[in-house]
Amino acid sequence: MNVTKIRKDFPVLNREVNGRPLVYFDNAATSQTPTQVINTIVDYYENYNANIHRGVHALSQEATDAYEGARQKIQKHFNAAHPYEVIFTSGTTHAINIISSGYAELLKEGDELIVSALEHHSNIVPWQMLCQKTGALLKVIPMNEDGVLIMDAYDELLSDRTKLVFVNHVSNALGTVNPIEEIINKAHAVGAEVLIDGAQASPHIKADVQALNVDYYVTSAHKICGPTGIGVLYGKEAALNRLPPYQGGGEMIAEVTFEKTTYADLPHKFEAGTPNIAGGIAFGAALDYVNAIGMENIAKYEAELLTYATLALKQIPGLKVYGVAPEKTAVISFNVEGIHPYDIGSILDKLGIAVRTGHHCAQPIMDFYKIPGTVRASFSFYNTFQEIDAMVDAVKKAVQMLQ
């Protein structure tokens, strides 16, 4: 992988912050956008901005073709069986809410849902709202000190009362890669469906939804070099057909009278209103971009960055890394004894280094470790070993100033 060449595709990486070259280590929150993807958005608005599916005119047809072309790129990337199993959403959160709200019609009191201890709030809160509405019960697969799910406990939670299991593929706060194949197979053995939140996995791992035999897989484009405000809900055809629409409106109908409305087929049933057309097209371009580099090459290089950074940070006295699962993506969550994570983050920012501090929308994980939050450095394929050196030096400086 030619990282020097790749970095030229990301204009933002040239800028300075507080008089220093930007070191962007907040990739788990959102990734940066390459020129190739930015140009796709500009091209759409400059040359063929039109609403899709609606016009006989040329611009509308071009926009429709580009948008549907992007759907096919997403289908191919995740190996979905059909393009209509790919539903465009505004992101992971929206995708999860489509399923959680639809499930209200499928559940009865006493049914059980299983979540994991390692989730982002967007894979917790919608389900709690669903439980309040239906009387279903939410059970939690616990984690251990390493940030790994305790699978024996999962076995015990599963029963014929279990209707749906929802777990992230990769934890945003710790980087743990969860054993989703085992989770899916065991859930299916008791007749439950499975939703996998792939928001943190997608930048590093190409999921094959048919090989996984997963019922729903969701992610956001902005984690994979795409724009914000666009994401995807993959669902098996039969699973999606079982669910009611999420929103009513234009584009999602077959026929409307004041007496009765019938709904459109997949994917339109779940795509009411004018979508984020430019965003969808750019999502396709982002997948083209990462696939041209190669997801395996990306994963291999990021693993090297992770090992290098972990070893260097651990030399700092009093520094503790949270989440030491044997299989991890390039995320390091850490604290230094006696120092609040926000203070380290602020000093790093003064030195041009962007990390996230806080609970990372995963408060139950912070509660487990009895900490207010962590400093989280998350790496991408356009980061370098020199940038890691700069961060390690900056953390040392921060510790000197704060201790």
Active-site residues, by number, are: 361
Instruction: Identify whether the C-beta of residue 119 lies closer than 8 Å to the C-beta of residue 148.
Output: no
DSSP string, 40-88: HHHHHHHH----SSS-SSHHHHHHHHHHHHHHHHHHHHHT-S-GGGEEE
93, 101, 329, 335: which one binds ligand 7TS (CB under 6 A): 93
Packed helices 92-103 and 125-134: angle between N→C axes, nearest 10 degrees? 10
Least separation in angstroms between residue 25's CB and ligand 7TS is 12
Please report how close the Cβ of residue 356 comes to ligand 7TS at its closest, in angstroms: 6
Question: Looking at residue 107, what DSSP letter applies?
Answer: -
- Within positions 135 to 174, which residues make up the interface with ligand 7TS, using CB under 6 A? 168, 172
User: Rounded CA gap, 403 and 398, in Å?
Assistant: 8
Shortest Cβ 29–ligand 7TS spacing (Å): 3
Q: Encoding tokens for residue 347? A: 């000093």
Q: Which of 64, 97, 100, 220 binds ligand 7TS (CB under 6 A)?
A: 220
Q: Does 200 bind ligand 7TS (CB under 6 A)?
A: yes
Part in contact with ligand 7TS (CB under 6 A); list of ranges 146-154, 193-201, 237-245, 271-279: 193-201
- Pick the stretch among 134-142, 194-202, 263-271, 292-300 that binds ligand 7TS (CB under 6 A): 194-202
Residue number with CB closer to ligand 7TS (71 or 120): 120
Pattern of binders to ligand 7TS over 328-357, x per CB under 6 A? ----------------------------x-
d(CA 110, CA 338): 45
Rounded to a whole number of angstroms, the minimum distance from the CB of residue 260 to ligand 7TS is 34
Interaction mask 100-129, ligand 7TS, x per CB under 6 A: --------------------x-xx------
The pair phi, psi for residue 56, each rounded to 5°, is -85, -10
Nearest to 381 by CA among 330, 328, 325, 326: 330
Treating both helix axes as pointing N-terminal to C-terminal, what angle do 277-293 and 58-78 enclose, rounded to 10 degrees?
Answer: 40
Question: Which contiguous run of DSSP H or E holds residue 289?
Answer: helix 277-293
Between the alpha carbon of residue 54 and those of residues 40, 59, 66, 73, 164, the distances in Å are 22, 11, 14, 22, 37
Q: Write the burial class of residue 61 (CB in 10 Å: 0-12 exposed, 13-18 middle, 19+ buried).
A: middle
Site track 241-280 with ligand 7TS (rule: CB under 6 A), x = hit: ----------------------------------------
| Interaction pattern, residues 50-89, with ligand 7TS; x per rule: CB under 6 A | ----------------------------------------
Residues that bind ligand 7TS (CB under 6 A): 28-29, 91-93, 120, 122-123, 168, 172, 197, 199-200, 220, 356, 360-361
